[in-house]
Structure formats: structure tokens, C-alpha cells
């Protein structure tokens, strides 16, 4: 039996604060256990990635209590900001840092240098880390998120139900989406915003005022965080997923939509083009626009809403892509390989 200690953010299971990183971590633990690993979880409360001295001390205590030679998988949200906590254990433990979103600063570089190995959730992130830091390429591997199979979404008869699944923050670009929706207000549509509303309350308040001032408050619904059957119902009702992020390393909601045959309109940034993918004929199952460009996003929305041939083509491509997506057991296999190699090293 192989054991791994997994260091997680303290809010890993908080239903009020779902995130792609937390979802990945939870499934990784589950799937590693299904492969026969003994998974020992160590949630560390704190304001990661801005830890207080008490947060750092608590993490140091967790690592100090682990046995020599233990394999330790650390969420990058925790590990990437505390090289001084990792370094004293770099020789004693087999530290593997799982990077969801690179911070791209000197502190992260020193933290990753202290690790035995690094795992990223996209090839784009791996390239980014290797370009930025002096890391050995054979120490950095990729374990993309999996996705669960799902029935094809029926959508709406009018093809005008838009869905955005993301925490309502500037990084995710809801202000860009609000500006784009205002530009297509002459067309019929509704848009559900599904995601936590408490991470930047001032930003959310400004968005609510913007929607009210532009007459969109009745057409844009801020649903808050949804999980389980409620989230599945939101996807089932959608005709198009819109993800206007300013930066995104992978975009798990993209594959969640594609698993249901729902096309995607997303920013052309980071790992999103790779996540969206292409058919063998080169067609994308969606549209890409420059980030932080409300006019470009509005143009793509108008194209979708007014061109039935485009909608049919994108929907066919999404259903083809649906059959190519890999599941979480594949992710766990890649994580297990990285952990075994780190232990052997």
C-alpha cells in the first residue's frame, strides 16, 4: 500500500466557496484512494495565498509531524508562497507541488525549487513555469483535470440561454461580460452567472449597479454558487457557456460544458484554447475572443445569437469533443506516476 499526505486549503469542502482548484483537489484525493493509495488529508486554514504568520506556523507544524521519506502532495495555493516553510523539509520529505494557477514571482520560484517535483494542470502552465524558473524539465509534469460523463444538454428552443460559471471577480471578467451584454441588449437572451459572490463584494456591488443602470438586471441572474444537481441543471438549461476570464490556466468549466455538448465562448488566454480543443477537421467547439475586450465579446455573442448555421456547427463540434474528454481516473494515474517518481528520487 502506497501512502500520500495531501496538504489542502482549509476551505476545500466549503459549499459556499467552490473553485476549480478545490474541485480538482477533492477528486484527486478520491481517485488516488480508488487506485489503492492511502490518502491522508491535511487541510490548513488560512488566507492562502496571503498567509499570516500563524498560517505559516501551522503549515510548518503539519510538515514537521510527517515521517521521513513521506510523499507529500501540496496544493500550490498553499505551497507557492512559503519557500521558507518548505526548504527545511526539502531533503527529508518528498514534496510534490500541484500548481493550478502560477503566481509568477520570485517567491514561487524559490518554493518550486524546494520541491522534489511539480505537477501542473495544463501543458500551458508547465511551459510557463519552465520559461519563468530554472526548473529541470523532467521534474515538471502535467495532470489535466478530468471530467465526469454527462447527458447531452437539451438547452432551450430559442438557443438564447447563456451561462457563465465562475467566481464573480475581476479575474473572471464579469465586468467585460456585462459590457458585452449591454451591446447586444437589442437581441433576446438571458444569462445566468453561477459562482461565489463573496470574494470581492465591492466588485459585485459595482456590477449590480452597472446591470441596473443598463437595464439588464432582469436578464442577468446572479445565482451564487451551485453544486451537484443544481449545477447540473444549470448546464442542462444552457445553450452557450461564456467564460470571459482575463487569465485562465485550464478552465474546468469548459470541459464540464463540452461533456454536455454545450459550445463555449471564451477568452483567448492561457490554457483555454487547449482546453477547448478542435475536431479532426480543425473546427473549434466554440469561439475565442481577446480577453478584456467587451466589443469583441459582444460581436461573438451577436454572431451566436443571430446565426443558426454557426450554432449548428459549433454544437456538432462540441458533441464530437464530448466523446474525446478524459475522466478523473486518467488524472489520478498521472498524479500517481509523479508521486512514485518523486518517492524513488
Count Cβ atoms within 10 A of the Cβ of residue 263 and give its class: 0-12 exposed, 13-18 middle, 19 or more buried: buried
Domain ranges of the chain: 3-146+326-344, 161-322
Q: Pick from 246, 226, 210, 101: which is nearest to 163 by CA? A: 226
Average pLDDT over residues 292-299: 98
Tens digits of residue pLDDT in 167-209: 999 999 999 999 999 999 999 999 999 999 999 999 999 999 9
How far apart CA 43 and CA 277 sit, in angstroms, is 34
CATH number for the segment(s) 161-322? 3.40.50.2000
In the numeric block, the cell 498553499 is attached to 78
pLDDT of residue 260: 98
How far apart CA 103 and CA 81 sit, in angstroms, is 9
pLDDT of residue 286: 98
Average pLDDT over residues 268-286: 95
Tens digits of residue pLDDT in 41-71: 999 999 999 999 999 999 999 999 999 999 9
- Same fold for the pair 3-146+326-344 and 161-322: yes
| pLDDT of 345 higher than 90 | no
Query: With bands split at pLDDT 50, 70 and 90, how would you rate the model's confidence at 15?
Result: confident
| pLDDT of 1 higher than 80 | no
State the average pLDDT for the chain.
96
Query: With bands split at pLDDT 50, 70 and 90, how would you rate the model's confidence at 341?
Result: very high
Query: With bands split at pLDDT 50, 70 and 90, how would you rate the model's confidence at 16?
Result: confident
Tell me, which fold does domain 3-146+326-344 have in CATH?
Answer: Rossmann fold (3.40.50)
Q: Do the beta carbons of residue 182 and residue 214 sit within 8 Å?
A: yes
pLDDT of residue 283: 94
Average pLDDT over residues 14-42: 93
Count Cβ atoms within 10 A of the Cβ of residue 4 and give its class: 0-12 exposed, 13-18 middle, 19 or more buried: buried
pTM value is: 0.94
How far apart CA 127 and CA 84 sit, in angstroms, is 25
Q: 3-state class of 22 per DSSP?
A: helix
Sheet holding 3-9, edge to edge: 38-44, 3-9, 71-75, 94-99, 117-120, 140-142
Considering only CA atoms, give the Rg of the chain.
21
Tens digits of residue pLDDT in 107-151: 999 999 999 999 999 999 999 999 999 999 999 999 999 999 999
Amino acid at each position: 500500500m502506497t501512502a500520500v499526505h495531501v496538504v489542502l486549503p482549509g476551505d476545500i469542502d466549503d459549499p459556499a466557496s467552490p473553485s476549480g482548484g478545490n474541485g480538482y483537489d477533492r477528486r484527486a484525493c478520491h481517485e488516488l484512494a480508488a487506485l489503492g493509495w492511502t490518502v491522508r488529508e491535511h487541510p490548513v486554514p488560512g488566507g492562502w495565498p496571503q498567509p499570516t504568520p500563524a498560517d505559516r506556523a501551522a503549515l510548518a507544524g503539519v510538515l514537521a509531524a510527517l515521517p521521513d521519506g513521506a510523499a507529500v502532495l501540496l496544493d500550490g495555493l498553499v505551497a507557492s508562497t512559503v519557500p521558507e516553510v518548505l526548504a527545511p523539509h526539502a531533503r527529508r520529505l518528498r514534496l510534490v507541488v500541484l500548481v493550478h494557477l502560477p503566481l509568477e514571482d520570485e517567491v514561487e520560484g524559490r518554493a518550486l525549487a524546494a520541491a522534489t517535483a511539480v505537477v501542473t494542470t495544463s501543458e500551458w502552465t508547465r511551459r510557463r513555469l519552465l520559461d519563468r524558473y530554472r526548473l529541470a524539465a523532467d521534474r515538471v509534469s502535467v495532470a489535466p483535470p478530468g471530467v465526469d460523463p454527462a447527458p447531452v444538454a437539451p438547452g432551450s428552443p430559442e438557443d438564447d440561454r447563456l451561462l457563465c460559471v465562475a467566481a464573480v471577480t475581476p479575474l473572471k471578467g464579469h465586468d467585460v461580460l456585462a459590457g458585452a451584454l449591454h451591446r447586444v441588449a437589442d437581441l433576446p437572451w438571458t444569462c445566468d452567472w453561477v459562482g461565489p459572490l463573496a470574494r470581492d463584494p465591492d466588485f459585485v456591488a459595482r456590477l449590480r449597479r452597472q446591470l441596473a443602470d443598463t437595464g439588464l438586471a432582469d436578464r442577468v441572474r446572479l445565482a451564487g454558487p451551485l453544486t451537484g444537481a443544481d449545477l447540473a441543471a444549470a448546464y442542462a438549461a444552457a445553450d452557450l457557456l461564456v467564460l470571459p476570464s482575463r487569465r485562465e490556466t485550464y478552465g474546468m468549466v469548459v470541459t464540464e460544458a463540452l461533456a454536455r455538448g454545450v459550445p463555449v465562448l471564451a477568452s483567448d488566454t492561457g490554457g483555454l484554447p487547449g482546453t477547448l480543443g478542435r475536431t479532426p477537421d480543425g473546427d473549434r467547439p466554440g469561439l475565442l475572443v481577446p480577453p478584456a475586450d467587451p466589443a469583441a465579446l459582444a460581436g461573438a455573442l451577436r454572431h451566436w445569437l443571430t446565426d443558426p448555421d454557426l450554432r449548428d456547427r459549433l454544437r456538432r463540434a462540441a458533441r464530437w469533443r464530448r466523446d474525446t474528454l478524459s475522466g478523473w481516473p486518467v488524472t489520478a494515474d498521472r498524479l500517481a506516476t509523479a508521486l512514485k517518481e518523486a518517492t524513488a528520487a
